[in-house]
Amino acid sequence: MEIINFIIHNFSNLFVILGVFGIAVETSPKIKWNPYSDILKFIGKKVNEETNKKVENLTSEVNNIKNKLHEDKKKEYSIMISNFASDLKHGEIKSESQFIAIIELCDEYVANGWNGKIKLDTAFIKEEYIRFANKVKNGDFVIKGGK
């Protein structure tokens, strides 16, 4: 009971003594414990706990959206490559810029390692481009207006 009365009557003095002791410990290079830093870190974690949860949820949502966009891009590229190859197989004439654009798409698709089924269409498109380029070079093929 005497200790409690002593603490109550001398609270401001004890507060100052503990404060000076804490500063001495905090700034001492030999003592590895930093009481004020630890207290402030604890308070900061409690104050920011809700914000940190919201940031984690947003990060998770952003990652989900990125994954969805990545999958959509993969599907889109796959469809475009397959359609281009199918058009060539059905005799549709393509321009040099169309060939170059689709070949760049094919290269990106394969470089990302998305899957192997597009490799056959990619090889076919590249072979057709070489045949197309040779025809144009030899003057056997001239693109007229239209397609």
Q: What is the pTM of this model?
A: 0.58
At which residue do the structure tokens 């590895």 appear? 32
Other CB atoms closer than 10 Å to residue 74's CB: what's the count? 15
Distance CA 33, CA 27 (A): 10
What are the pLDDT digits (tens) for 98-140?
999 999 999 888 888 777 778 889 999 999 999 888 887 776 6
Contact (Cβ atoms closer than 8 angstroms) between residue 125 and residue 84? yes
Distance CA 124, CA 74 (A): 19
Under the banding of pLDDT at 50, 70 and 90, the label for residue 30 is confident
Other CB atoms closer than 10 Å to residue 103's CB: what's the count? 16
Under the banding of pLDDT at 50, 70 and 90, the label for residue 80 is very high
pLDDT at 36: 66
Rounded to the nearest integer, the mean pLDDT of the chain is 83
